[in-house]
Amino acid sequence: MSEETGPDTERHLREALRQLGEARDDEDLRKTHSVALEEVENTVSTVLREYEQDE
């Protein structure tokens, strides 16, 4: 990540993961939405891990 990122980036990524997890756990979601959310969650998790390694 760029030098402009900071603690807010990590907080936003963790919040996004929390919200994605809640949305996926919602039984009203269609299966295709659940799969898409899982892919987004995996991407956000990867970005967060890379961010933590860069610190």
Distances (CA, A) of 50 to 9, 16, 21, 55: 12, 16, 20, 9
Summarised one tens digit per residue, pLDDT across range 1-55 is 444 556 787 888 888 878 777 777 766 566 667 778 788 888 888 888 888 888 7
The pair of three-digit structure tokens given for residue 12, joined into one six-digit string:
């936003």
The pair of three-digit structure tokens given for residue 8, joined into one six-digit string:
């807010």
The pair of three-digit structure tokens given for residue 32, joined into one six-digit string:
């295709």
Sign of the alpha-carbon torsion through 23, 39, 34, 49:
negative
Q: What is the pTM of this model?
A: 0.53
Summarised one tens digit per residue, pLDDT across range 3-12 is 455 678 788 8
The pair of three-digit structure tokens given for residue 16, joined into one six-digit string:
């996004």
Residues 6+ apart with CB under 8 A from 48: 10, 13, 14, 17
